[in-house]
Amino acid sequence: MKTRHIAPILLACLLGSAPMKAQNYDETKVPLYTLPDLLTAEDGTPVTTARQWKKQQRPHLLELLATHGYGHTPTQKTDVTHEVVYENKQALGGRATQQQVRFTFSGEGKTIQALLLVYYPNERKGKVPVFICYNFKGNHSTSTDENILYSPYFEQLPNRQDPILVRGNQTSRWSIPLIIERGYAVATMCYHDIYPDHKDGESQSVLTLFPKDTYGKPDSWQALGAWAWGSSRIADWIERQPWADKKKLAVMGHSRQGKAALWAGAQDERFQVVISNNSGCGGAALSRREFGETVAKINSSFPHWFCRNFSSYGKRVNDLPFDQHTLLAMMAPRHVYVASAKEDTWADPRGEFLATFQLGPVYELFGMKGLPSPIMPDIHRPVMTDAGYHIRAGKHDVTEYDWARYMDFCDKVFGR
Ligand code: GTR
């Protein structure tokens, strides 16, 4: 018995690293913690007005999030061209128009291509709100429609029989018919096209389209920063479409893309509604709870996601100058919706809820309302004020239940 325990420890010592603590799933073992106070300025004075928040506190906190968490996004612009390569005005039995748009990003003598898949309703009174969200497994995974072109990342796979190329293998995560029925548009791109999601993905990512000194440093962007940047480039195109209501843009992401959606919403104030679906550690869940996935664990599994500075907080999470409520608060006075799943303990549903609750005092500066109670609601009892939260039954996933709630919330926010 003993050797079983000793072997990994010996191995870790030989490799020069201490073994990682097991993940905690026991609420009674959550350490005591104090969250950084969102309404205390750097010099210790209280933040009491919306103006102070906007002019001083928000920029200060955003800078902390960039320096210690997500990395700085370069301010330089890259060239982007767009070409509608496919259009079907009779998609979904005539209820929607489907477009596929090739984005070509260029810079530093290189180009990178990505494909955006868009559906918007044919029957519409005026312009429509739009959900912008990445897919994990290529545009072809969202539907069995044979006309959907493979996303560039998947197009290059040498084995055409690869099961990943099966159409519609993630259809259940994309309630496109429901989205259209409720009068919304949806735009999706494969996240690998922007930054291939593996630790050596940088060389094929959009980072390389920027000057060399904008990446590779402890506080510069990596994959999450790139994905967030890409959402803003999608918004640039959407804003110019005659059918799209540019004042009603929502960014939604699941899991690692929930983290990216929150970081996109923090930086780009065109996103009026920012939706985190099961985003967990480094997304909506409070890091200081160390429940499920931890800062130490996420950085060791995914060293290419956050900025390098973030990994130094693995063993001293209480020294982080922010927690995830800070990220959510960047949306004020816009709207944030956080969703959890009961069985998704890795993502710490309670931590996701508590971070959302912490938004309250910041919303109040703007005369807005955060979540009404610090007591977590039961499953399938969504709470919607100026912020939204729900926990549903089931696993780590995106389901029709989640989409329906996001649209209920957007209907409320957009006055539909
Ligand atoms: C897990 C990761 C989570 C979450 C998830 C996902 O492996 O630990 O932070 O992002 O992946 O993206 O599905």
Among residues of the chain, what percentage have pLDDT more than 70? 95
The pLDDT score that the predictor gives to residue 92 is 98
pLDDT above 80: residue 15: no
Cα–Cα distance, 176 to 92 (Å, whole number): 9
Q: Whose CA is nearest to atom 10 of ligand 1?
A: 256
pLDDT tops 60 at residue 11: no
Please name the residues in contact with 53: beta carbons below 8 A apart, sequence gap of 6 or more. Answer: 47, 332, 362, 365, 366
Provide, rounded to the nearest whole percent, the portion of the chain with pLDDT above 90.
94
The answer to whether 139 touches 100, Cβ cutoff 8 Å, is: yes
Partners of 363 in the β-ladder: none
pLDDT at 21: 74
pLDDT in tens, 68-125: 999 999 999 999 999 999 999 999 999 999 999 999 999 999 999 999 999 999 999 9
For the cut 60, the answer to whether the pLDDT of residue 9 exceeds it is no
Q: Can you tell me which atom of ligand 1 is nearest the CA of 293? A: 8
| C-alpha 259 – ligand 1 centre gap (Å) | 10
pLDDT in tens, 303-313: 999 999 999 99
Cβ atoms of 345 and 396 within 8 Å: the answer is no
Record the pTM: 0.95
Q: Are strands 383-384 and 335-341 parallel, antiparallel or unpaired?
A: unpaired
Among the listed residues 205, 220, 231, 255, the single catalytic one is 255
Q: Which position has the token pair 């026991």?
A: 26
pLDDT at 20 (0 to 100):
66
Give residue-wise pLDDT tens across range 237-293. Answer: 999 999 999 999 999 999 999 999 999 999 999 999 999 999 999 999 999 999 999
Q: How far is the CA of 104 from the centre of ligand 1 (A)?
A: 28
Point out the ligand 1 atom lying closest to the alpha carbon of residue 281.
9
Q: Which of 72, 106, 312, 396 is catalytic?
A: 396
Digit-coded pLDDT (tens) for 17-34: 445 678 999 999 999 999
Residue 140 annotated to the active site: no
Q: What is the mean pLDDT of residues 353-357?
A: 99
- Strand order of the sheet with strand 110-121? 79-90, 96-107, 110-121, 185-190, 128-135, 244-254, 271-277, 335-341, 388-392, 383-384
Mean pLDDT score across all residues of the chain:
95
pLDDT at residue number 6: 35
User: In this predicted structure, what is the pLDDT of residue 225?
Assistant: 99
CATH number 3.40.30.10 is the correct assignment for the domain at 68-77+116-414: no
